[in-house]
Each structure stands twice: as C-alpha cells, then as structure tokens.
Amino acid sequence: MLKGKKARFLTVALAVVLAGSVLAGCSNKSSAGGKKVEQVIRYNLGADPKTIDPGLNSSVEGGTVIANAFEGLLDTDSKDQPVAGVAEKWEISTDGLKYTFHLRKDAKWSDGKAVTAGDFEYAWKRALDPNTASEYAYQLYYLKNGEAFNMSADPKATKKATADQVGVKAVDDVTLEVTLENPTPYFLSLMSFPTYMPLRKDVVDKDPKGWATKPETYVSNGAFKMKEWKPKDSITFVKNDNYWDKGKVKLDTLVYKLIDQETSYMSAFKSGQLDFIEAPPSQEIPNLVKEGTATISPYLGTYYYSFNVSDNAEKVNKDVAKVLKDVKVRKALTLAIDRKEIVESVTKGGQRPATSFVPRGIAEAAGKDFKQKDYYKETADVEQAKKLLADAGYPDGKGFPTIEILYNNGQGHQDIAQAVQDMLKKNLGISVTLRSVERKVQLTATNSHEYQVARNGWIADYADPMTFLDMWVTGGGNNVAGYSNPEYDKLITAAKSETDAAKRMTELHQAEDLLMNDMPIMPIYEYTNVVCIKDYVKNARKSSLGFVFFKDAYIEKK
C-alpha cells in the first residue's frame, strides 16, 4: 500500500520535495494590504478512505490522512530519514534486538491528555490481536512473539503467544522497551508507519468500529485534528493546538477532497477550487508537464493485476477459478500484455514497464539495484502466450470462459483495463468484461478474495525488497491473490532472520523467482508521481513511498 521511512542503513534516495513550488518558506502572513493570507490547502485525496484507523488502514489514501493526524515514535525529514517524533531519543542494543525509546514529556493528544508509552503498547498489541483482524498485522511480526500472538487463534499454528509475551512494554509513561525477533536494519523506518502509531485505549475500546469516523472521537496526536467528515465529499482537518511542535505548523486548515474522476478534479484544480492534485488525466500529462503545471518524480511502487487463486475463488465463479488455478493460463495472460504500449500510449506519465514485481530503485548493495532481471519482455510475447494457452487446453481461446476485471473508479484505471481487455482478445481470443467500483468496494473485494482478476497497486513501506515480497506469504493480510507456496514462505522467513546481508538478498531473489514463476500477479508498470500543485503552496512534501506531508506546508501570497 503504503509509505514508510528510509532507514539510515539504506543508500537509495527516496523522498522528493516537489521542485520549485515546495522548496522555501517562512512567514504565514502576506504584506498585501496588510491582510493575512488564508492558511488553507485543499488537496484531492482521490477516494473516500475505507478507514483512517491506523491499526486497520491498508491504503495510501487513508495513510496520508493518518500521517498528518498522528505522529509515531519517529517522524521523517525531507529526505525520509528517521528523526525524533514522540520519542526524543532512543538506544539500540549491540545485538540489534532491543530498542529503548524515551518519549518527550510535552507530547499530547488533541484533547490535551499526555501521550504515554502505554498508548504505543496498546496500539501495537491491538493491531496484532487476531480479533482486530488487521490486514497489516504482519508488519508487526518484527516484534518478539508478534506473529505467535497474531496466530494464537489459528488451530494450525505451531507457535502461540499471549499479548503479555509480545516484545513491547511500557516501562513507565515515557519509556518504551521494544524487543525484536531478529535484528532488523530498517526497524527505525517503521516507527512512522501508520500501524505503529499510538492509540488511546479509552477512546478506541469505547467504540472500536466508529471511533475513527467522527471528529469528536478521532483523537490524534499529530499536527492536525479532524473537524468534519462529509462522506464522498471531503474530510476537513484543522491545526492541533495541543501538538507539541505546533509552533512549526503554519496551516490552519487542511481539506481533503474525495473526487475520484480525473477530469473532475483536473477541472477543479484549473478553476482554483483545488490547490494540489495527483494523477491528472493521462491525455493531458504531456502538455501539463511541458507548460510546468505538472511535475513527474519517482514513486517506489508497482501497478499490477492480481489473479484470485484463493480457496474462495470457486465461490465467485467456478469456471474462471478452474482456469486461473492453472499457472500456464496465468503466464499466458501475463505474456499477452504489451506493457510498453500501455505506458507510452495510455498512462503517459513516465512510467516504466514492470517486468518484475520489485521495481527499480531499491538498493541491494552500494551502487547495485535489487532489480537485476526481466521475467518477461516489455512488449507482448504473443507466440509464447498462445503456446501456453494451447498447452493448458484452450487453443486460440476456444473453450475459455469470459473473465471479469475489477478496478476502482477512475478514467486512468479504466483506460488500462480497456487496453488489457483489447490485448487479451486480440492476442489470445479471450473475452473480458470490466467492472468499475468505488475504492472502498474494490479494497473489500480484493481483501476478501471476492473477484476474478483485479487491479491493484503496491507502494513501498520502506526501502527494502522485503516490503514487496513478504506480503505474499500464505495467509498474509495484504495477500490479495490468496497465493500460497510453502517454499516461498520458508524463504521469506529465512530472509527475515538472516544477518548476512548478501545471503539475505539471495534468499529474497529466490523468493521473487518463485513468485514470478507461479505468477499469481500480473505486474503492469512501475509507478511515477505526477502532481499538479499551485505555485503558492509551499513545503508540501510528496514522498516516493506514497504519502503527502503537510506539517511544514503553508500558503504564500496568491
């Protein structure tokens, strides 16, 4: 999904501070007629978030809201380097297994109560609790006994643990001790990840399902607090006057608009109703970039389609489930797609064809990118695709059932789906129907494996190949394909405990080899950030790991 923060151990440059329009700044006042500039930014979030509960969220949309409303133990600077957040200092044991965080005493919640170490312990254990059913629970498996506690309700689990045995403990109100299963070089990077945000037990336990939907109960500890949520229209946040670092927050109001149609939010941007949008209509991107209205920057993620190979697939459509369980079919469908044509003629945003699942931009070692191979051509390999389909028993598509592609609303997603539909028909003789739904519906359908083929995307949570690979372990919360391969699981487990960096990378390469050989997914392209931002918006930061940060943003004289 999501964003993470770059660890000090990693060498790849990850964050992009939007050029020109986001570089400078100080005063939040204008000298024009002595009038104060209205400090309001209207940013198009692009979809009504399924949830903005830090423990339950798994989308970039929800994550952006959370990242500006909450603050973790650590925050990030303009280059996505971990810096002090709620924790003002910390120590790491020589073996890399124990972290001791010391919280600042002036950290407060939006209702004025103190943020305590217990708030972090509660939030982390809540996300791991099997009753919470957090899709991102596995992101806390780095904690000692984290996985064992999360799997405690599974009768097949070989190792189980209680909440008290999980490696996080509030020693006192301002000291948090964390014990890991294995040394994890990028652990500090995770401390600003949504799932690791603190939560108030008294607030959440009182209304577990509804607390994050109402301004009066959405108690947060970051730069902004919720004022109003109008479903399918907007979510409004205002400056949190109880935030410990409020002196650096210049914005008074942050409005997230929830417009999912590209032409609509592009029109709103041009008319001045929006100050900041992403992913403008693809047909307009070349001219927008040429005239300087849009900028293109790195985005560490992969746009892909998933095949439903889960046990639930037959309940959706028995005939389609049967064909998709055949790896020859999945490979045939994947090889029939011309990714080069899609990025050049459809998306037009500087994307690169995805010929692996882990994209370019993640360092394996100094000067060496993890992506070292192409698992198939950038263009369609029609001959091989036809052969595979024939070997599976469907020569020229004869006898192959009509399949449905599910995607969330948006002209861009529709254009790609239509291109894929046309390519499968032309190259393999396969008929495809398309179904567009709201983002919430798409997330629910994919997470519950109630689809046939679906559009998906994954943005790195941190700058390591693991963020793209551990999601595909059996039963993983973000394993939308329902993929399962015991050998793959073993490689991921081994890589998570491996202290030899070179051997660890070898295990991750072997895991990706298995994933791309089994092909439960169809990578389409490597993301880029295409953004349009008004020149009076300063210091809004878009990370190449997904989220937009507004803590330091302000409006200059228009």
Of 551, 556, 555, residue with least CA distance to 247: 551
Residues 102 and 155 in one domain: yes
Q: Which domain holds residue 52?
A: 15-275+534-555
How many structural domains comprise the chain? 2
Distances (CA, A) of 234 to 250, 257, 336, 389, 475: 21, 4, 40, 47, 34
DSSP code at position 114: B
Flag whether 7 is in a domain: no
Continuous H helices in 95-151: 117-128, 146-150
- CA–CA distance, 311 with 301 (Å, rounded to integer): 27
Q: How does DSSP assign 281-332, residue by residue?
A: -GGGHHHHHHTTSEEEEEEEEEEEEEE--STTHHHH-HHHHHHHTSHHHHHH
In a domain, 538, yes or no: yes
Does the residue 9 lie in any domain? no
Q: What is the predicted pLDDT for the residue at 545?
A: 82
**Torsion angle (degrees, nearest 10) of CA 530, 533, 537, 542:** -10
Both 522 and 540 in a single domain? no
Beta strands 453-459 and 294-307, pairing class: antiparallel
Tokens of 42: 């209207």
Give the pLDDT mean for 169-173: 98
Q: What is the mean pLDDT of residues 485-512?
A: 95
Same-domain check for residues 266 and 312: no
Q: Are residues 37 and 75 in the same domain?
A: yes
Same structural domain for residues 388 and 264? Answer: no
Lowest mean pLDDT across 30-44, 230-244, 525-539: 30-44
- 27: CATH: 3.40.190.10
DSSP secondary structure letter of residue 115:
P
Residue 356 included in any domain: yes
Residues 232 and 363 in one domain: no
Q: Are residues 182 and 322 in the same domain?
A: no
Residue 380, in any domain of the structure: yes
The overall average pLDDT reported for the chain is: 92
**For 346-388, how does the pLDDT look when each residue is reduced to its tens digit (9 = 90+)?**
999 999 999 999 999 998 988 899 999 999 999 999 999 999 9
Examine residue 348 and state whether it is found in any structural domain, yes or no. yes
C-alpha 357/C-alpha 470 separation (Å) is: 12
The pLDDT value given to residue 34:
59
Q: Which residues contact 490 (CB under 8 A, 6 or more apart)?
A: none
Same domain flag for 401 and 519: yes
Asked whether residue 262 carries a pLDDT value surpassing 60, the answer given is: yes
270 and 308 assigned to the same domain:
no
Query: Same domain for 503 and 459?
Result: yes
Flag whether 287 is in a domain: no
Tell me the pLDDT band of 32, cut-offs 50, 70 and 90: very low
How confident is the model at residue 17, as a pLDDT? 38
CATH code of the domain containing 403: 3.10.105.10
237 and 112, same structural domain? Answer: yes
Looking at the structure, tell me whether residues 324 and 374 fall in a common domain. Answer: yes
Can you tell me the distance from the alpha carbon of 69 to that of 463, in angstroms, rounded to the nearest whole number?
23
